[in-house]
């Protein structure tokens, strides 16, 4: 598995992330999305009208992606935690989406690098590793 036990638990509980893609002309897009972590460590992003979305078209055009899930746990003391998954992605046309109400198209992220903070240590402990 690509993720630590604490990272797996965090991803299972957090619920919403943000997916950043880049268009062929260099415009960055960042949108909130739902997601599902698959048993092989890939992440599926779903949504309404996914096939016509800019993020889907960006991935079809070859965009690398960055996916972030984070939470502010408290203000006093200031505690944050999160994960950034960087990698390649595929636009898949006939896959089961994370939620039933969505169309059968997903973006599947294949992690190359995982950066996390506040999950396996305190909120200012960052870890970064390449995925095998």
What is the per-residue pLDDT across 46-93, written as a single tens digit (0 to 9) for each?
Answer: 888 888 999 999 999 999 999 999 988 777 777 789 999 999 999 998
- 22 found inside a domain: yes
Q: Is residue 132 part of a domain?
A: no
Number of domains in the chain: 1
User: Does residue 15 sit within a domain?
Assistant: yes
**Of residues 102, 124, 113, the one with CA closest to residue 33:** 102
Average pLDDT, the chain: 89
Between 12 and 94, the higher pLDDT residue: 12
Q: Which helix (H) or strand (E) holds 10?
A: helix 5-14
- Residue 31 domain-assigned (yes or no): yes
Query: Which of 87, 94, 82 has the alpha carbon at shortest distance from 41?
Result: 87
**What whole-number percentage of the chain has pLDDT above 90?**
63
Residue 9 domain-assigned?
yes
29 lies in some domain? yes
Question: Model confidence at 33, in pLDDT bands (50, 70, 90)?
Answer: very high
Q: Judge whether 89 lies within some domain.
A: yes
Q: How far apart are CA 89 and CA 109, in angstroms?
A: 4
Residues of the domain holding 113: 5-127
- pLDDT for residue 101: 65
Whether the predicted pLDDT of 113 surpasses 90: yes
Asked whether the predicted pLDDT for residue 10 surpasses 70, the reply is yes
Q: Is residue 91 part of a domain?
A: yes
CATH number, domain containing residue 43: 2.30.110.10
Apex 31 CA angle, 44 and 91, nearest 5? 35
Neighbours of 99 (CB within 10 A): 11
């Amino acid at each position: 598995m690509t993720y630590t036990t604490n990272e797996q638990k965090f991803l299972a509980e957090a619920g919403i992330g943000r997916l950043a893609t880049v268009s062929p002309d260099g415009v960055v897009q960042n949108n909130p999305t739902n997601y599902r972590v698959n048993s092989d460590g890939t992440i599926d992003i779903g949504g309404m009208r996914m096939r016509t979305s800019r993020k889907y078209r960006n991935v079809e055009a070859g965009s690398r992606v960055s996916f972030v899930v984070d939470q502010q746990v408290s203000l006093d003391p200031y505690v944050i935690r999160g994960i950034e998954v960087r990698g390649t992605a595929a636009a898949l046309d006939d896959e089961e989406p994370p939620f039933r109400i969505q169309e059968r198209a997903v973006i599947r992220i294949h992690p190359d690098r995982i950066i996390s903070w506040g999950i396996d240590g305190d909120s200012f402990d960052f870890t970064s590793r390449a995925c095998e």
